Amino acid sequence: MVKPSHEGLNVLGAFNPGATKYKNEILLLLRIAETCNKKQNFVSVPYFNFIENNAKFEVLDIPENSKELELKDTRGILYKGVDYLTSVSHLRLARSNDGFNFAVDEKPFILPHNQTASFGVEDARISKIGDIYYINYTIVSGDGYSTFLSSTKDFKNVKQHGIIFPPLNKDVVIFEEKVNNKYIALHRPSNHGFGLPSIWYAESEDLIHWGNHICLLRPNKSVWESQKIGAGAPPIKTNKGWLEIYHSKGKNNIYSLNLMLLDLKNPSKIIALSKTPVMIPETEYEKNGFFGNVIFTNGHIVKENGDINLYYGSSDENVCVAEISIDKLLKSLK
Amino acid sequence: MVKPSHEGLNVLGAFNPGATKYKNEILLLLRIAETCNKKQNFVSVPYFNFIENNAKFEVLDIPENSKELELKDTRGILYKGVDYLTSVSHLRLARSNDGFNFAVDEKPFILPHNQTASFGVEDARISKIGDIYYINYTIVSGDGYSTFLSSTKDFKNVKQHGIIFPPLNKDVVIFEEKVNNKYIALHRPSNHGFGLPSIWYAESEDLIHWGNHICLLRPNKSVWESQKIGAGAPPIKTNKGWLEIYHSKGKNNIYSLNLMLLDLKNPSKIIALSKTPVMIPETEYEKNGFFGNVIFTNGHIVKENGDINLYYGSSDENVCVAEISIDKLLKSLK
């Protein structure tokens, strides 16, 4: 369904969509991962080069037998001591009237904008605040991954606000309204060499500058959560609290989805947590693919009947949807 | 010269001081690293435990032959998959009338304040803005290391402002005046698994919330700088630009000091860099000690004659001072 953004690129997957309602449509902002044609005896790495902020798509061809080449997993390589990704991602809109049948735009919506995103832009979250749609996403380059903020009012013109969480930081979600007159975000700094990647809380007065960082939730020791956790989409406001669906990776190497309920008036306080995942990879397309055993959500739509359409990526390859009752999620926390 | 802060602790070193002038005195805010008595056949790890924010000093004794114990370098160990430091640091004032002869306070000035600093507080930088002395320092815990901000007006009462740069981030310096109506900081996020630790630029409107993060300077490939770099003390304002003395670690495993000159009106722009270090470990006490071949500065005093007293730690053990002409430093950049 998805056309390549550039000659010489192949679409590897469309996954991990941000989601929102805009006018009469449901919009998904897909992560489109693309790779280049494999040349025999070479590992080919696509990336963007920027000369005076003009993007130029380039390919680095590395001899397969190079002693300076180290393959990590299917997603990354190390060459001459420098990290590269095996694919480069951009963000593209898909549009639907019913939330289930989508038409994917022919052109990208957000492309890497400068050298800080030379390896791609990934995993958008959309927060509607007032009449502005704030879009945060992971930017990746040789400096690491960090979180960039843009905004739009019309899904045509995009305003860039800069890096809001410096490296290494991803899985950022911004609450869709202020609490105690502060904007609130959850974020996920890397603490490599110390503890396990955990979910942090932060506050802002303008969405651009962030502070009052607090470590909110560390992975528990269960088989589902023992490697890392990270926030999903902006939380759902319920009368019981802010309901956040977050992902975890356990020692079984499976990504699953879990629940966290935060105090309505003080979202730095956790009220309840799910004891076991609410969703795990079960189907063929969730268990197998480019990077199997991954379900990852960063977008949902709340419907009038109190259900949500939970959009999620499976195996870093496809977009899936699950219909879930918010009430049932909340009751499961009792 | 330094008394232990707590029974059962031994002072391992006093080093890496922040520096400022207060009334008629020159103050150093020393990092005091302490360790506990070694028990035969055990590795003993000191740390603070907090029960309802009351600090309790504790020691973890690990059998030397434990299969779950992994020694890293002299500074850290891994036990049952959890990181610990072999020493715990606090911050203590030393006072002088001449900048060379100091009396060290008997009691700590800043101790770990809660669980986020359970492994200690380290490497203070002092920025005088108006009549307030802002003190930022590294806090270390099982969640990693991050940068905390406190302030004082009188070096008696301390106000805490929270984590300003979440993990993994250290080597933060805050400029001593606003530029373009924004507070400016340099910081050093970890980008483990990607590039080399680099110096970043950030802006704030209130010193608490930080944004507009820009990667300012990456390590060059020289033998002096090829591993990592990080800012030193708050920069010196000169008529040529903001002069920052920063440290580097190269593939020779030596820490040295280097110069960076930033545009007066736009400190996110580098005007000049030193081509080789301005200072390297040369003396016995710089080359050998708890962690040898380290010179590290995070404090200086500008004197009326245009010289600075550059205070620096040597080998993670001692405090040293060097007198340097700012003019000569600037001329060396031509």
The answer to whether the A1-167 and A173-334 domains have the same CATH topology is: yes
Please indicate whether, in this complex, the C-beta atoms of B209 and A214 are within 8 angstroms of each other: no
Which CA distances in Å does A244 have to A187, A228, A257, B145?
A: 12, 16, 10, 26
Looking at the predicted structure, is the pLDDT value of residue B74 above 80?
A: no
Contact yes or no for B189 and A205 at CB 8 A: no
Tokens encoding B2: 């330094």
Q: DSSP letter for A223, please.
A: T
Residues 6+ away with beta carbon under 8 Å from B67 = none
- Please give the average per-residue pLDDT across B87-97, as a whole number: 97
Q: What pLDDT was estimated at residue A237?
A: 98
Residue of B nearest to A143 (CA): B195
The per-residue pLDDT for range B149-204, each reduced to its tens digit, is: 999 999 999 999 999 999 999 999 999 999 999 999 999 999 998 889 999 999 99
Report the complex ipTM: 0.94
In terms of Cβ atoms closer than 10 Å to its own Cβ (0-12, 13-18, 19+), residue B133 is buried
Q: Which of B70, B163, B172, B191 to probe the A interface (max A CBs under 10 A)? A: B191
Residue B155 Cα distances to B22, B24, B311, angstroms: 8, 13, 19
Amino acid A38: pLDDT: 81
Measured between beta carbons, the chain B residues lying within 8 angstroms of A203 are 209
Cβ of A229 under 8 Å from any chain B Cβ? no
**What is the structure's pLDDT at B161?**
97
Selected residue of B114, B119, B194, B206 to mutate for chain A interface (largest A Cβ count, 10 A): B194
Q: Could you read off the pLDDT of B279-300 as tens digits, one per residue?
A: 999 999 999 998 899 999 999 9
Instruction: Give the contacts of B40 (CB within 8 A, at least 6 positions apart).
Output: none
Amino acid B193: pLDDT:
84
pLDDT tier for residue B78 given thresholds of 50, 70 and 90: confident
Q: Could you tell me if B124 and B29 are in contact, meaning their C-beta atoms sit under 8 angstroms apart?
A: yes
Dihedral angle sign, alpha carbons of residues A217, A221, A224, A229: positive
Indicate the pTM of the whole model: 0.95
| Cis before B257? omega within 30 | no
For residues A300 and A269, the answer to whether their CB atoms sit within 8 Å is: no
Instruction: Give the model's pLDDT for residue B6.
Output: 86
Q: Which residue numbers in chain A have pLDDT < 70?
A: none
Distance from CA of A217 to the nearest CA of B (A): 11
**A173-334 topology per CATH:** Tachylectin-2; Chain A (2.115.10)
Q: Is a pLDDT exceeding 80 seen at residue B115?
A: yes
DSSP A234-291: SPEEETTEEEEEEEEE-TT--EEEEEEEE-SS-TTSEEEE-SS-SB---SHHHHSSTT
Per the CB < 8 Å rule, is B166 touching A189? Answer: yes
Distance CA(A18)–CA(A37), nearest Å, equals 28
Whether A198 and A219 have beta carbons less than 8 Å apart is answered as yes
CATH architecture of A1-167: 5 Propeller (2.115)
Confidence band (pLDDT; 50, 70, 90) for B56? confident
Q: Which residue, A190, A274, A29, is CA-closest to B146?
A: A190
Determine what percent of chain A is predicted with pLDDT higher than 90: 84
Residues of chain B found within 8 Å of residue A82, distances taken between Cβ atoms: 195
Q: What is the pLDDT of residue A72?
A: 74
Model confidence at B82: pLDDT above 90: no
Q: Where do the structural domains in chain A lie, given as residue ranges? A: 1-167, 173-334
Which is nearest to A14 in space by CA: A299, A322, A320?
A320
Q: Report the run of H or E that residue B284 belongs to, with start and end.
A: helix B284-287
Judged by CB atoms closer than 8 Å, whether chains meet at B211 and A209 is answered as yes
Cα–Cα distance measured from residue B45 to residue B51, given in angstroms and rounded to the nearest whole number: 19
Q: Mention every residue, 6+ apart, whose C-beta is less than 8 A from residue A221.
A: none
